[in-house]
Structure 1
Amino acid sequence: MPKLDLSAAPVKTGSIYPAPYAEMMAGRSSRRLGDLAGLTQFGVNIVTLEPGAVASLRHWHLNEDEFALVLEGELILVEDAGEEAMRPGDCAAWKAGVANGHRFVNRSDAPARFLVVGSKAETEVATYSDVDMQIHIAGGKARFTYQDGSDWAGPREIAPKGESK
């Protein structure tokens, strides 16, 4: 395949999250390099976060591995174990099935960019660590549920670990 023209890559803004979480993704965009190349087995994106923006809700994947490399700016990686500053050249990876909710936050006053690569499993479940929500993907369609599997009908509180709701 010839060299990719990054400016030709589709750009996605916002999120497929339901309200009110979709609105929290303002200032996030991703350049879909894998789509540009016609890749089907894994996704490759360059995500840009404007100052104050977040990449996602904190989440972890049941069936998909994920890898991120900071390209520009400074980001804060937020995981179950805490927070860590990430600068150009720093990378992180998350193995499928390991319940370590993670996300990037841009707390700086300049845009930041990171490369993210993830496998594209035929079926996937991502669990959101700080809200009672999961996304189930099958057949190219997404369905949101609560963490107990019941149909999602709007935000509800999540019980702290070790407690039940």
Structure 2
Amino acid sequence: MSEQYKHIVKRQQAQEAEGVFSHPWNPNSEISGSQLSRMAGLKRTGVSIGRLKPGKESFAYHLHHNEEEWVYILSGCGVAHIDGEDYELEPGDFVGFPTPSKAHQMINRGSEDLVYLMGGENLESEVADFPALDRRMVRTGDKIKVYKLSEGKDFGPL
């Protein structure tokens, strides 16, 4: 009998690996879920299942300069807050964030959990802006630097 293919993530494994994440710059951020792509051995793309409880938000309102992202709603209803506008989402809805993306975040204003798949690229370098917080995050590999957006200074090559 052959060995189990190690890049399959079974539902029970994903449930057992579930963790809770809160973005440090958003006190209302609380998302639980599993990083499915990492569990399956993928390095260049990220895919996670996320769950937002009623009244919670995904991350801090942000945009990406290099990495594309997407969201696919599995259950519950939510709001995609994109570029200052709210868009109601329900199961089966898909949202893409091509780069440079518009600022965005997911919000659960409903009465049941919002469950969705989210994914994107894992590039070596990324620049993400947090316009409501006046911050720019620059990541190269595992190194992260944060700058004030309003200073308008050249932050140099990546």
Deviation of the 1:63 alpha carbon? 0.7
Cα RMSD (Å) of the superposition? 1.9
Q: Matched residues in 2 for 1:97 and 1:71: separation?
A: 26
Q: In structure 1, give the amino acid aligned to 2:8.
A: K
1:7 aligns to what SS in structure 2?
Answer: helix
Instruction: Provide the C-alpha distance between the structure 1 equivalents of 2:146 and 2:11, rounded to a whole number of angstroms.
Output: 32
Moved more, 71-80 or 131-140: 131-140
**Alignment partners' CA distance in 1, 2:138 and 2:152:** 9
Question: 2:75 aligned to 72, 75, 80, which one?
Answer: 72
1:3 equivalent to 2:8? Answer: yes
Unpaired segments of 5 or more residues in structure 1?
Answer: 151-165
Give the equivalent residue in structure 2 for 1:13.
Answer: 20
Q: Distance in 1 between matches of 2:113 and 2:152?
A: 37
2:124 alignment counterpart: 122
- Mapping of 1:140-151 within 5 angstroms? 140-147=142-149, 148=151
1-structure distance, mates of 2:137, 2:12: 30
Corresponding position: 1:23 with 2:27: yes
- Alignment check: 8 A CA contact 1:6 1:33 kept: no
Higher mean C-alpha deviation, range 6-15 or range 37-46: 6-15
Q: One-letter code of the match for 1:108?
A: G
Tell me which amino acid in the other structure corresponds to 1:128.
F
Partner SS state of residue 132, structure 2: coil
Deviation at 1:81, TM superposition (A): 5.1
Residue 14 of structure 1 aligns with an amino acid whose one-letter code is F
SS of aligned partner of 1:24: coil
Taking the TM superposition and a 5 Å limit, the aligned residue runs for 1:1-165 are 1=5, 3-9=8-14, 10-15=17-22, 17=24, 21-26=25-30, 28-80=31-83, 82-98=85-101, 100-147=102-149, 148=151
Structure 1 residues 31, 64: closer, same or farther in 2, change over 3 A?
same
Distance (Å, rounded) in 1 between the aligned partners of 2:152 and 2:46: 26
Q: How high is the sequence identity, in percent, across the aligned residues?
A: 26
CA distance in structure 1 between the partners assigned to 2:43 and 2:36 by the alignment: 12
Structure 2 gaps, min length 5: 154-158
Q: Deviations over 1:7-63 (max 9, x none)?
A: 32333422353xxx253213x113110110010011000110000000112111111
For these two proteins, the number of residue pairs brought into alignment is 145
